[in-house]
Structure 1
Amino acid sequence: MKIVKSLLPLTMLLLSGCVVGPDYRTPEAALPVKFSESAAKSAGDVTLNRWWENYHDKRLNALVEQGMNQNLTVLQAMERITEAQANVVLAGSGAWPQISANANATVAGQDGSLLRAQQSGVPGITGPSHTQSKTLAASGSASWLLDLFGQYRRARESANANLDAVYNDVNVARVAYLNDLTTAYISARFYQESLALDRLNLASRRETLKLTEDIRAAGAASSLDVVQAEGLVNQTLAEIPPLEIGFYQAANRIATLLGVPASTVTPSLLAGSGQPMPRYSAKAGIPADLIRNRPDIRRAERTLAAATAQIGVAESQLYPSLTLDGTINASRVISAATGNLTGWSFGPNLIIPIFTGGALQAQVDIANSQAKQQYFAWKQTVLNAVEEVESAQAALIRDYQTVAALRRLVASNEEALSLARESYRGGASTILDVLDAERNVANSRLTLASSIRTLATDYAALNVAIGGGSSIDTPVPTQAPRVAQVVGKAPVVKDNGSAPFTQ
């Protein structure tokens, strides 16, 4: 008891030791006040914004909800949360006493006969011989590595940061799912619209072919006019199969994103619907919004925090480690002579690294380098996010202008086709004028459909770029409380291109 009483204050003193390595500080980046083509007004928290509902397409809304927790990529990311939570427990387990016990029982004996030969020539006397003993043994051991320099505290800190990063991985996967599903649905409806337009064009060109044949029967048109009209009909027929292929490929992609066979999705899509087009413009906000709304930026920041904590783990290996070890052994032998034996031991075990060939310092250098790499990765992620928003916003603004102009162009071409046919019937123009008008109408209609597809896709791209909808249906973090920050010099993290860590 005297030993325990004398060691207890020393133990408590050692347990309150320092934590080596830099404390983490959230990095900073120099960002513009606003995006190039928007006002300097924050969009707030957009992570719960259901932006796809602005297409006003009930079928799209149903597909998004169906696949929100069925997408296999999202499910994989969610399962990694369980792994990361276990890693938090594993990282901190070494700081607790490790206790183990074992027990065994054995039975030993001898069986045989004993021959006693008499030197005097008396006949030998034989008799049975039998011996047996039982041994009961038990032992226990305890070991406690005192975390003098914060090795396990830094490891747990790193594991907690990695757990945060994994939660953001779920959001990254969900945003990717939303973008892929919406884009695939937009493509499917585009191909259906293009097929409908091609069939409309086919009917119009067949009407022109019939008109040409009627005029030739009246002697006012040549066989060449008829052949040219037939060629345009066949050209339209050849354009239909590739559009059907595009539709089925988009439908198959939707099924894969939902995690179901294509046969369960395609029939409902074949019913057809208009092209989805957003009714409202997206608010890009300001660049600073991206830091809190983009899950990939948050993931990169948490990965940086985990790498920073690993510097402390590596540095702790440079210093002595102290382990308190204790064992107790007890045994009982049951035989002709019965006895008990008990032994125990207790004492500290001090390990001092003296010469390791530079291996321990190399581990510190590696950890520092990895942390700097993560800082640059975070900075690159931020810059990429700004670029994506700028590009998507610039495209979306001009997409609306393009669609409006193409609508007017289609109306003009349709009127020109009507006038060309009337003129051809009256003999004031040739069949080439009608065929040219047919081509212009067909091309402008398909171009308009393609531009609507581009507008709808860019609308999705802008919302994804600002992190819209990333936190919908995402599980709430349930990790253990983080270890409080302890004494240590914080790393300097500035957006000046220099190394973000100091010792």
Structure 2
Amino acid sequence: MPLLKNRSTRAAPFVPRASGLPPFNPRRVCAAILALGLSACASVGPDYRTPTPVEYPVWQSQAADSVSRPATPALLARWWQQFDDPSLNALVDAALSGSTDLQSALARLEEVRARRGLTKAGQLPEIDASANARNQASRPNDQTLTTRSYSASADLSWEIDLFGGKRRAVEAAEADVDAAQADLYAARVSLVAAVASAYIDLRTAENRLAVLQATLASRDETDQITRWREQAGLTSTLDVAQSKSSLEQARAALPSVERSISEARNQLALLAGKPPGAIDGLVGPRRALPDFQFALGLGIPAQTLQQRPDLVAAERQLAAATARVGEAEAARYPKLVLSGSIGVDALSAGDLFRPEAVLASIAGGLSAPIFDAGRIKQSIAIQNALQQQALITWQASVLTALSEVENALVAWRTTNTRLASLDTATAAASEAEQLASQRYKAGLIDLSILLDTQRTLLSLQDQQTSAQGERAKALVNLYKALGGGWSPEAAGKTPAVGDSING
């Protein structure tokens, strides 16, 4: 603990003319104090410098070569609108205005802003005012004597930031606000991608259900034909049993797909901050997946690092940690606290404004740590370790961002290749099923051949529908990895929850 303590003393009543001293001038005193405070401009601790990212000049994936237009901020800000799907647009808008995650991130931003204001207030003087009136009764010589007194004062206390500890604290608070704002943007990016993914899951499950329903109609027809043939003595009871089994196997897949549809709808409601069923009107009836096409210029990796708000947040957290190292180091140095008081003290209210009633004092207290058992040293070591952790976190975030873009590009390329093969296979299987159905009706082939072609077609159609959803989600993940879903150009506005908020 400091061995020297700050003390504030009150001088004897100040009488200008009787003492021969110059009259007390509060303006000159405040000006002198302010000049002293402004003259303290040195700030201990390291000055922050933006770290240099890893060298990564070009994307490695071959899919990056298939771009057709640049990734402008305006395109990335509302990338989902290019798919021209009114339901998707409405769901994203509902989520941006009602998401509890965004509301929480916005509340966090407001908290950090308030903390910044509190930190800035610590740089300024504190002024307190008080006023008192007192009656005192005494009885000397069996007579009651009543005396009254009045006083009023204004007291000032100001810690001069000699070594920049408070300035470093404000610097850290500013970086905290920037990080919290970037976290809000990052939450928006994740929310938009989550809504798009849930919407794709919903449409994929609906299309799978449509495939199953069409298959059930086809197998039900086959089952009826098999029963008629059995009644006509053209086939056996074994064929009837096989036909019935194939029909029920297809029907057994319905509950699982229906559950997926319900879960996707509930997920969309949750993302919009609504109870289940509240956004069903926005979803609308079943429709095909949006026409997701890859028409996006990636640019160089360095541009992606500038677009992603999570990387901005990590870099700002590093800046805050660096500033707090200086704040901790400032505790090693002396502290100067100036205090002053000006007031009046009189026996009657009318005498309060007389010059001889004025009381004034100015004091300065200097304290310095001499022995603290290593507390300050350990505090500095803690802040240095936190700064190192923040640097490592930023470096890891950069590598994660690059990896996510590369993975999304690979997923886009491979899902397109897989879908192309499934399209060809499904078309051939559909033709085979039609031919087998015609031949079975004509009695030219066994039922087992028809059932095999039907099972093959159902499997391929289901894989094809799922692959369409996987390809769409790969593109969503690519937009998310590129930081799409917020606009740096809108950062100067003050819109609703989920939009850009100006610090």
Instruction: Give the TM-score band, short-chain normalised.
Output: 0.7 to 0.9
- Is the CA contact (8 Å cut-off) linking 2:37 and 2:160 kept in structure 1? no
Task: Verify: 1:104 aligned to 2:118, yes or no.
Answer: no
C-alpha distance in 2, partners of 1:156/1:363?
18
Mean Cα deviation higher: 138-147 or 453-462: 138-147
Which amino acid letter does the alignment assign opposite residue 181 of structure 2? Y
Structure 1 residues 268, 233: closer, same or farther in 2, change over 3 A?
Answer: farther
CA RMSD for the aligned pairs? 2.9
Mean Cα deviation higher: 9-18 or 412-421: 9-18
In the alignment, which residue of structure 2 is the partner of 1:17? 41
Structure 1 residues 182, 136: closer, same or farther in 2, change over 3 A?
Answer: same
- The structural deviation recorded for 1:221 is 0.9
Structure 1 residues 110, 272: closer, same or farther in 2, change over 3 A?
Answer: farther
- The structural deviation recorded for 1:334 is 4.8
Task: Verify: 1:287 aligned to 2:315, yes or no.
Answer: no
**Percent identity of the aligned residues?**
32
In the alignment, which residue of structure 2 is the partner of 1:491? none
Task: Verify: 1:424 aligned to 2:436, yes or no.
Answer: no
C-alpha distance in 2, partners of 1:137/1:164?
48
Structure 1 residues 291, 353: closer, same or farther in 2, change over 3 A?
Answer: same
C-alpha distance in 2, partners of 1:188/1:5?
72
- The structural deviation recorded for 1:344 is 2.9
Structure 1 residues 154, 371: closer, same or farther in 2, change over 3 A?
Answer: same
- Is the CA contact (8 Å cut-off) linking 2:119 and 2:173 kept in structure 1? yes
Task: Verify: 1:314 aligned to 2:341, yes or no.
Answer: no
Which amino acid letter does the alignment assign opposite residue 172 of structure 1? A
- Is the CA contact (8 Å cut-off) linking 2:133 and 2:148 kept in structure 1? yes
Which amino acid letter does the alignment assign opposite residue 94 of structure 1? G
Structure 1 residues 8, 2: closer, same or farther in 2, change over 3 A?
Answer: farther
Mean Cα deviation higher: 1-10 or 357-366: 1-10
- 1:284-433 matches, within 5 Å, as 284-334=298-348, 342-433=358-449
Partner of 2:97, secondary structure, is coil
Partner of 2:253, secondary structure, is helix
Structure 1 residues 237, 478: closer, same or farther in 2, change over 3 A?
Answer: closer
65, 73, 89: which one aligns with 1:46: 73
- Is the CA contact (8 Å cut-off) linking 1:43 and 1:289 kept in structure 2? no
* Long gaps (5+) in structure 1: 115-128, 480-503
163, 184, 206: which one aligns with 1:192: 206
Per-residue CA deviations over 1:137-173 (Å, capped at 9, x if unaligned) read 2222111111111111111111111111111011110
Task: Verify: 1:208 aligned to 2:236, yes or no.
Answer: no
- Is the CA contact (8 Å cut-off) linking 1:171 and 1:295 kept in structure 2? yes
C-alpha distance in 2, partners of 1:10/1:251?
63
- The structural deviation recorded for 1:406 is 1.2
- The structural deviation recorded for 1:11 is 4.8
Which amino acid letter does the alignment assign opposite residue 354 of structure 1? I
In the alignment, which residue of structure 1 is the partner of 2:195? 181
- The structural deviation recorded for 1:61 is 1.1
- The structural deviation recorded for 1:270 is 5.4
C-alpha distance in 2, partners of 1:471/1:246?
33
Mean Cα deviation higher: 283-292 or 242-251: 283-292
- Is the CA contact (8 Å cut-off) linking 1:18 and 1:148 kept in structure 2? yes
In the alignment, which residue of structure 1 is the partner of 2:7? none
236, 243, 253: which one aligns with 1:222: 236
- The structural deviation recorded for 1:421 is 1.8
- 1:77-88 matches, within 5 Å, as 77-88=105-116
- The structural deviation recorded for 1:131 is 4.9
Mean Cα deviation higher: 197-206 or 270-279: 270-279
- 1:441-480 matches, within 5 Å, as 441-471=457-487, 475=494, 478-479=502-503
Mean Cα deviation higher: 32-41 or 346-355: 32-41
Which amino acid letter does the alignment assign opposite residue 84 of structure 2? H
In the alignment, which residue of structure 2 is the partner of 1:252? 266
C-alpha distance in 2, partners of 1:103/1:312?
41
Structure 1 residues 477, 159: closer, same or farther in 2, change over 3 A?
Answer: farther
Structure 1 residues 154, 209: closer, same or farther in 2, change over 3 A?
Answer: same
- The structural deviation recorded for 1:234 is 1.2
Partner of 1:52, secondary structure, is helix
C-alpha distance in 2, partners of 1:195/1:44?
36
C-alpha distance in 2, partners of 1:40/1:478?
36
Partner of 1:182, secondary structure, is helix
Mean Cα deviation higher: 280-289 or 452-461: 280-289
In the alignment, which residue of structure 2 is the partner of 1:269? 283
Equivalenced residue count is: 463
Per-residue CA deviations over 1:392-417 (Å, capped at 9, x if unaligned) read 10010121122222112111111111
Task: Verify: 1:64 aligned to 2:97, yes or no.
Answer: no
C-alpha distance in 2, partners of 1:238/1:397?
34
- The structural deviation recorded for 1:285 is 2.7
